[in-house]
Copies of this chain bind each other. A is one copy, B any other.
């Protein structure tokens, strides 16, 4: 009965009245949506920024900051007089500044070799501050490095295509595969699939509608291998009766959210993906991807998880 079909109109993702669009979720799982009308400053969170940038940028930034702080303190020491650092005077500005710079680095990192060292009160006060600031800065760096390290990272692989395959007698099913390509152990894996396409509304306008797809199993307890997620296209499925042409014309997109508990990070991780109408295959089925070796041990061939073969009728 069509009365059971539930349009979910995921208002968080898209307006009712939009038309031809790019994909809503990029293949890397990020949302393909810009935000405007908000100041850079207001939408910026420092921790978020420092935890999300690449390692190269993070380390480069750390280096630049290290040099800048040392430069700043070198200038302070020079203003106070480089001779107060206990090194021979009369060797020129550059020699004095370099001495101050190296002294600054030795203070900031708390190495404190001591050959260059503060002799008068002002230099001592600046050095006292710098050593304190240095320790605080490295405390912050420690926190950030831990924050970066311990953020849950997944390597969830989805099959290259979603397929429409035969199911039961004269039936059809939509399937795709998902696997954890890390050697981490996962439990309580869960998948949600939202189908979306353009439809004509009462006035004949193209309206993008969103439908939640029922899955044969939406949750599995253990997830050590490949999971073939299965949506059976029965009469209450919004895909019932849809053809390849319908989905192409409607610019269909299937949005996927995967969640599981990861033992290493001791928390729930997630991965997003989407299949567009041109990522769909019809009339095929997935090849086998789980095997048993000669010793009776199971193994999963991750390189075969996207392999399909002609369905035999």
For residue A57, CB closer than 8 A to chain B, the reply is no
Chain B minimum-CB-distance residue to A86: B115
- Is A32 a contact partner of B298 (Cβ separation < 8 A)? yes
For residue A205, CB closer than 8 A to chain B, the reply is no
- Is B109 a contact partner of A117 (Cβ separation < 8 A)? no
- Contacts A150-B147, A225-B12, A264-B52 given: A34-B299 contact, CB under 8 Å? yes
- Copies assembled: 4
Chain B minimum-CB-distance residue to A142: B139
**Given the complex of chains A and B, what is the CA–CA distance between A153 and B49 in angstroms?**
13
- Is B36 a contact partner of A255 (Cβ separation < 8 A)? no
For residue A182, CB closer than 8 A to chain B, the reply is yes
Quote the shortest CB–CB distance from A266 to chain B (angstroms): 5
Quote the shortest CB–CB distance from A155 to chain B (angstroms): 7
Chain B minimum-CB-distance residue to A303: B37
**B residues less than 8 Å from A299 (CB atoms):** 33-36
* A257-305 interface (Cβ within 8 A of B): 257, 261, 263-267, 269-270, 272, 288-293, 295-304
* A139-174 interface (Cβ within 8 A of B): 139-147, 149-153, 155
For residue A82, CB closer than 8 A to chain B, the reply is no
Contact string against B for A residues 115-129, beta-carbon threshold 8 Å, 1 for contact and 0 otherwise: 101110100110110
- Is B34 a contact partner of A297 (Cβ separation < 8 A)? yes
For residue A214, CB closer than 8 A to chain B, the reply is no
For residue A254, CB closer than 8 A to chain B, the reply is no
Chain B minimum-CB-distance residue to A38: B302
Quote the shortest CB–CB distance from A251 to chain B (angstroms): 9
**Given the complex of chains A and B, what is the CA–CA distance between A113 and B131 in angstroms?**
11
**Given the complex of chains A and B, what is the CA–CA distance between A43 and B170 in angstroms?**
40
For residue A54, CB closer than 8 A to chain B, the reply is no
**Given the complex of chains A and B, what is the CA–CA distance between A136 and B194 in angstroms?**
44
Quote the shortest CB–CB distance from A170 to chain B (angstroms): 17
Quote the shortest CB–CB distance from A198 to chain B (angstroms): 12
- Is B303 a contact partner of A38 (Cβ separation < 8 A)? yes
- Is A297 a contact partner of B21 (Cβ separation < 8 A)? yes
For residue A224, CB closer than 8 A to chain B, the reply is yes
* A2-33 interface (Cβ within 8 A of B): 8-15, 17-22, 24-25, 30-33
- Contacts A22-B295, A112-B112, A136-B62 given: A15-B290 contact, CB under 8 Å? yes
- Is A45 a contact partner of B184 (Cβ separation < 8 A)? yes
Sampled A-B contacts (19; CB under 8 Å): A12-B226, A15-B289, A18-B290, A22-B296, A22-B298, A33-B298, A35-B181, A35-B302, A44-B182, A47-B264, A48-B183, A70-B128, A105-B132, A109-B110, A113-B114, A114-B114, A115-B117, A146-B146, A261-B270
Instruction: Other than A33-B225, A47-B149, A105-B131, give 19 A-B pairs with Cβ distance below 8 A.
Output: A9-B217, A11-B226, A15-B225, A15-B291, A20-B292, A35-B300, A36-B299, A38-B181, A38-B302, A43-B155, A51-B264, A52-B264, A98-B121, A106-B111, A111-B111, A113-B114, A136-B145, A187-B257, A194-B222
